[in-house]
Amino acid sequence: MRSWPFTCMADTLSILSKIAYFRLKVGTSLRKSVRIVIDERFGTHEEVLVLVRGSWLRWLFFILGPMPQAIRLASFRGTFCTQFFGFSYLLSWLLIEILGLISARTVIQNAATTTHISFKFLDRLYETLAVICYFYIYSYSALRFRYFISPRWGESQKWDSLDWLLFVLMVTFAIPSSFIRDGLIVRALSMFCRKHVVMGQNLLVAFPEGEPETLKVDDDAVSWLVCSVANLLLCLAGYRFLYDSSGTVNPGWTAVFG
């Protein structure tokens, strides 16, 4: 799931919405609101403390690796979509790291009695909107692919009834009930991996359980596999049929970052 930039953005909005709810609706302080939301995300406050203890190493790797590339990406001109996707990952990571540090340093009296509110509907809403955005891009990529095959066939470069039908079918088959884990694609792949367990093991979705020779297919792993493959295909299709390099500028000083 984290390989989808729209999902990272939806996760960021979900976290901020929850904090705003506790701060404005419940009336808790900002620091306590952060701790409630982050503790709920990781299960227990002890898990948050474990996360924070290793934060220095993650920040070191971030400074040595992604940070120079993030600076370079921010300096580009004419690459709005690429910058949006790239910084959706960065913003999500920074938010979790910073809020984790705040949560670890916030003390709540009688934390065990803190009111826990279910935000399941809100999470599903953001997740569904993210998936719909992805399928919109996929459908638009299909339109550009049609133009690539035959300019006359796709010369209008506008959505017609066929394009909207494709978009509706993709959304219907992917989200029949509750987000992508119940999607027909995930279900079909799970059934295939259960029937061919060795193939499931090679796809890293089947793991030993009980006896060493017994393998069980993990449905969550199957959904994550589908998400990762879909993201890869979206990147390939986007750069082939949607990306336009005209008007883009890469400042010369960014060469210091490699």
User: What average pLDDT does range 127-154 have in this prediction?
Assistant: 65
Q: How far lies 18's CA from each of 30, 45, 59, 121, 199, in Å?
A: 11, 17, 26, 12, 40
Strand, coil or helix: 183: coil
User: Which of 110 and 73 is assigned the larger pLDDT?
Assistant: 73
The per-residue pLDDT for 116 is 67
Lowest mean pLDDT across 166-170, 198-202, 239-243: 166-170
The per-residue pLDDT for 158 is 54
DSSP symbol at 47: H
- Per DSSP, helices labelled H in 76-217 are 80-104, 120-149, 161-174, 184-195, 197-202
Token pair recorded at residue 128 = 């569904």
Residue with tokens 């690539």: 148
Pairing type for strands 206-209 and 211-217 reads antiparallel
User: Which of 149 and 7 is assigned the larger pLDDT?
Assistant: 7
**pLDDT cut 70: percent of the chain above it:** 73
User: What average pLDDT does range 145-154 have in this prediction?
Assistant: 55
Q: Rounded distance, CA 180 to CA 173, Å?
A: 9
User: What average pLDDT does range 206-218 have in this prediction?
Assistant: 74
For residue 216, give the H/E element and its range: strand 211-217
pLDDT at 193 over 80: yes
Would you say 191 and 237 are in contact if contact means Cβ atoms under 8 Å apart? Answer: no
Q: What is the pLDDT of residues 6-58, one digit of tens each?
A: 888 888 998 999 999 988 988 888 998 898 889 888 888 888 888 888 889 99
Burial (0-12, 13-18, 19+ Cβ within 10 Å), 122: middle
- The amino acid occupying position 30 is L
**Nearest in space to 144 (alpha carbons), one of 236, 247, 246:** 236
Q: Which of 85-99, 103-117, 130-144, 187-201 has the highest mean pLDDT?
A: 85-99
The per-residue pLDDT for 178 is 43
User: What average pLDDT does range 123-145 have in this prediction?
Assistant: 72
Partners of 209 in the β-ladder? 211
User: Which of 187 and 112 is assigned the larger pLDDT?
Assistant: 187
User: What average pLDDT does range 66-82 have in this prediction?
Assistant: 86
The per-residue pLDDT for 133 is 76
Q: Rounded distance, CA 9 to CA 134, Å?
A: 12
Cβ of 187: how many Cβ atoms within 10 Å?
15
Return the half-sphere exposure (C-beta side, CA atoms, 13 A cut-off) of residue 21: 14
Burial (0-12, 13-18, 19+ Cβ within 10 Å), 174: buried
Residue 168 binned pLDDT confidence (cut-offs 50, 70, 90): low
Partners of 11 in the β-ladder? none
Cβ of 79: how many Cβ atoms within 10 Å?
18
